[in-house]
Amino acid sequence: MKKYIFILLLFVFLGGNTGVAEEDKLNQAVVRGIVERFTSLHYAQEPLNDELSKRIFQIYLDSLDSGHYYFLESDVKEFRARESSLDDMLRRGDVTWAMDVFTRFLTRLSQRQAMLESFLEDEFDFEKDGQWRIDRKDEPYPKNEDEAKETWRLKIKFDLLTLKLAGNTDQEAKDRLLKRIRSVWKDYSQYTDDDVVALYLNALTRAYDPHSTYMAAEDLRNFDISIKLSLDGIGAVLRWEDGYTVVNSIIPGGAAARHGKLAVDDRIIAVAQGTEPFESVIDMRLNDVVELIRGQRGTTVRLQVMRKNENGFDTLNFAIVRDKIILKDGEAKAEIFEPTASTEESPSAYRIGVIELPSFYVDFNDRRQNPNNYKSSSRDVRAHLEQFKRDGVDGVILDLRNNGGGGLDEAITMAGLFVGRKPIVIVRQASGARITVHRSREEAIYEGPLLVMLNRFSASASEILAGAMHDYQRAILVGDRTTFGKGTVQNIVQLPEGYGALKVTIAQFYRVSGWSTQNRGVETDMILPSINNARDLGESTLENALPWKAISPISYTPVGNIRRYINELQQYSHDRLSKDTDFKEIEENVQEFLTNVKPLEYTSILKMQEDAAKRKEERDEEMASARKTMENTTQEESEEETSSNEDTTIRSDAYLLESMAILEDYIRLQQRVEVKN
């Protein structure tokens, strides 16, 4: 890879782009080639041996029956005869063991469905107590059908109670539970041989690390959509329901929205390409229906739908011309929050620009075809920052909460917008054979006060950006105690057309300080109360995660001096949080989790009902208090609040409000130092 290519998602072709004939899908020769390719590329360079075989064995079984509901003890004993030989079989491309296990799983699934249907004919006594283990991954498999029957009877009783406590009647709860298990059966019964092989190949990749995966052709298309935030289609979100593909929502600005006739809850019963005959899609898998509806922009797809009316259903035909759909929900959003009324404690207030970034997206195809005009997160953030400068903001907040990453080069480019042309991240290839320092080639366009919001779900590219901001002392990091801890780089190795792709971990990245984010994440400067700090989350909790390592730092010079202000900022924040009702409630929820939820291994019938009654009583009290408050609120105040909410594009919450207060404290402290100087 040339030095100037800073791409996380590389495309390496195995062979040509020849289409795959139906009879030549994931056959033995293809599987053998995929296994060889994956093991040769993976960062760990770990040979496929008996130890990995045992990991693959358990991962594959858990992918089908993680709660040990379906297989019997005798099934697993039979399967275990091959536990140490799966590595040899995979090297040959032999997947017969996986196919046999899946066939047995379908048999057990069918038996459990029959059990459920017979149980639902009975009435359950919810006054009689019973215990249910919450996490069943370490529970023994049922010894025989009688034991399986008792396990399922208790499971159904708890499932029904959960639905009843959520407000369903007895019959509604039974109907929903029956619908749920039938949906599971329908989904698995429609698996093709290729679907099973894909599941098995993913057991192989996950035995090496949690982020490597085999992506079937449909998965690859969906991944491409998620990284570039666009697709060619009609612009409708679909769901599967009782054998029908149902319109869940219409994407604003898409082809279906402009067409104006397709409606939410329409049932799509047939699809046709252009002038070709309709093909029934009733009982067809959702992914297959989506494939029929998607297509090249400018082409026509015809839909036959059923729409409910007062007397039953109307059957309607629509012809919609496919177009490019931009997924706006995943784009960077920006808003300027105006200053609030000044107080004696806060004699000045500031205009704060907030950018909410859900992912580091980029349209690779558009970038290759038109490098001066393409869709990407860094270009969008640049535009927002330039607008902020024109509008005269006093500080900027970059919200990376729940941002799971994306393009490595996007993180590098974006970091440059704040620190300029400097080293941003170090990438270490397998076995340390090559270490590359990646620099930003961007001029800094915003040099003012900066705060980055993070949580436990900020991962990968988010951690690269946050780590650079911390090492260069460019931004205050605020949020959960640490980020997710994903410090590895994956490449997309595209297989010949029709076979999908491999996402393979090929490198580990390090901050310029030499510190790895792997497992440990990026620690924040200002920790806010959060249930995430108490939960077992992040890379370190994932099976087969690669270990943490550090390397020697490179030469770099901080551009700011954030650390001199941290102690004072922490004290100001602590004083505010001690009086803030929202954060007091968060602290109470954390304590409740630590005391009553996290240690809980079992739940019981009676306890669930007691807890539900207690929660209902608390909600009733809250509602009564809210109604009283509403009665004392004038109509004029209500109208002003509604108008204000309508203008807001970024939802304000306790964490954002506190982050703005921290940034304002920082601006004031900087101004105080400047005055002294």
Rounded Cα gap, residues 454 and 476, in angstroms: 10
Rounded Cα gap, residues 305 and 530, in angstroms: 46
Please say whether the beta carbons of 451 and 498 come within 8 A: no
Q: How many residues does the chain have?
A: 677
Q: Which of 195, 471, 580, 665 is catalytic?
A: 471
Q: Judging by DSSP bridges, how do beta strands 476-479 and 526-527 pair with one another?
A: parallel
Please say whether the beta carbons of 399 and 356 come within 8 A: yes
Catalytic residue list contains 471: yes
Rounded Cα gap, residues 246 and 264, in angstroms: 8
End-to-end CA distance of the chain: 49
Q: Which of 212, 458, 460, 513 is catalytic?
A: 460
Please say whether the beta carbons of 98 and 59 come within 8 A: no
Q: Looking up tokens 């779900």, which residue turns up?
A: 457
Gyration radius from the chain CA atoms: 28
CA 35 from centroid of its chain's CA atoms: 27
Looking at the DSSP bridge assignments, the partners of residue 355 are 334, 398
How many C-beta atoms surround the C-beta of residue 626 within 10 A? 10
Which alpha helices (DSSP H) does 432-482 contain, by range? 461-471
Rounded Cα gap, residues 219 and 206, in angstroms: 16
* Burial environment of residue 23 by CB neighbours within 10 A (0 to 12, 13 to 18, 19 or more): exposed
The Cα-based distances of 586 to 580, 595, 626, 656 in angstroms read: 10, 14, 19, 14
Catalytic residue list contains 66: no
269 phi/psi in degrees, rounded to 5: -110, -15
Contacts of 413 by beta carbon, 8 Å cutoff, 6+ apart:
6, 376, 378, 440, 441, 442
Q: Which of 228, 422, 486, 503 is catalytic?
A: 486
- For 398, the 3-state DSSP assignment is strand
Catalytic residue list contains 653: no
* Catalytic center residues: 460, 471, 486
